[in-house]
Structure 1
Amino acid sequence: MSISELYQPLDISGWTVLITGASSGFGWAAAWRFAELGCKLVLVARRTDRLRELAAEICTKYKEARVHCAPLDVCDVDKIESLPFMLPPEFAQVDILVNNAGLALGKLPVQDNVTANVLTMMQTNVSSLIVATATFSKGMVARGRGHIINIGSIAGHEAYANGSVYCATKHAVTAFTTAARHDLVGTPVRVTCISPGFAETEFSLVRFGNDTDKAAAVYSNLVSLSAKDIADQIVYVATRPAHVQIADIICWPTNQAGATNIARVGPSLGAPSPDSSGSK
């Protein structure tokens, strides 16, 4: 008996996957993986040019791919709520929602937090995720099929100095995801939170206002996770058999054991430098 006969993953070909923050990083890499599996894609992000470029590249590689770009800022909750009515009929029934959009702005002690940054992080990381989940889970429950995948962070499990607001937002994502799983326990809809440790994407560039030196220092002498690593986990949870619900994944680089417990030992045996393409 072959391994494939022993355990079959869920076939999600033809399912519609909506990914927020799809223009770079985890969302970008996840779009490629779901396209590989034959899913229909709804790609959401602010940067229209990035979305169209990604859609064109996917359709070039996968000739049968079906991709719809929905340029919008997730902070505009009115647009999120109206999105199901704006999608073409072929893409309107979203089966998998990947709440990936999120950001950190600055790394300051609590007394120096900038109000504008606080509001942007809370809106992007928390409010928009909650609204998107409410908006698309209704259809999932009605159709009896669906999966909500929220991208959290180790900051949602461990708080650290100079990250009070970001940690607060990701703790909120962790709690919301758990509560949502309780709410949907009587339905076939699954709910997952994926919490990466250090992953080299645009995250630190955004956090430090495009200061490339500060961003590079975050990942120096460490083989970080890549966007593709997290996309692999997103696809893994989505393709478990329908009776299997992966609640949480916490993932570290091999040389990280906590939010601030990092061994900067450089590339080591068994930890080759990953291909970080996709983390534009």
Structure 2
Amino acid sequence: MKEKKEFFVPYIEGSLGKNTRRAIKRFALLALFTLVLGAVVFSFFQKPFKNSTFELTSETKITGVYHESPYPMLRVEVAEGDFKNVVLLGFGKSSANPYLKKVQEETPDLNGRKLTIEGNLIYYNGKTLMQITDEEKVRLADRSVTPIFSGQEITRMVFQGEIIDPKCYFGVMKPGKGKIHRSCAVRCISGGIPPVFASTDGNNVAKYFLLTDTNGNPINDKVLPFVGQPANIEGMVEKLGDDWFVIKTDINQIKLLNKESSIY
């Protein structure tokens, strides 16, 4: 006796056989189950997003006292007697300096003067940065000079961690980790973005430190070979205002460790 085979004709209603319908249902259920299972398994291997924010689509106007040592910052009073030091950055992989040139033509020495700047805020773990995208959005708010705070030296310490680019790592890129981001960090720091040392020790004054040379000057080009590589770094820790710390170091005091990066 010959086996009766089902034959489906798309334009004839009801020509889909029972066996074919059952097979399609089983396949659909199996495919759905596989998809859900794959999504669950995939989620377990993903690193969580950081609690960082980059306000790419909105601009915020802030007013504060400008100081440029070691890197351009705006000291903003967020509440009575409560100040936040906002690190200023340029668009893309640039420092804030090109965006300050126009207002500096009018007032060459901006230190201690009050500026109003409109840009994109970046904030993470109590640190705040601002990306400036247009020199026209940097204005002198007051010509009078306010005394600039000076750094307070704390102690000389040795830390273990990695040098990072704070712009991408703190929020512009999420999560801002992996090998591809190491080359990006090198380009950002070489372009003038302040280098930051992310400590992995755990018992430190702070977790993130701005890096300078022993005299408190920018150190961008000198640290490029060490970016994104685990290292021990020795230097004087200095408190800069209310929310930033600095490590003043000699480049010879950075010692690479023979281990994989935990960031890049």
TM-score by length of 1: 0.24
- Higher RCO, 1 or 2 (CA under 8 Å, sep at least 6)? 1
The structure richer in strand per residue is 2
Larger radius of gyration: 2
TM-score by length of 2: 0.25
The structure richer in helix per residue is 1
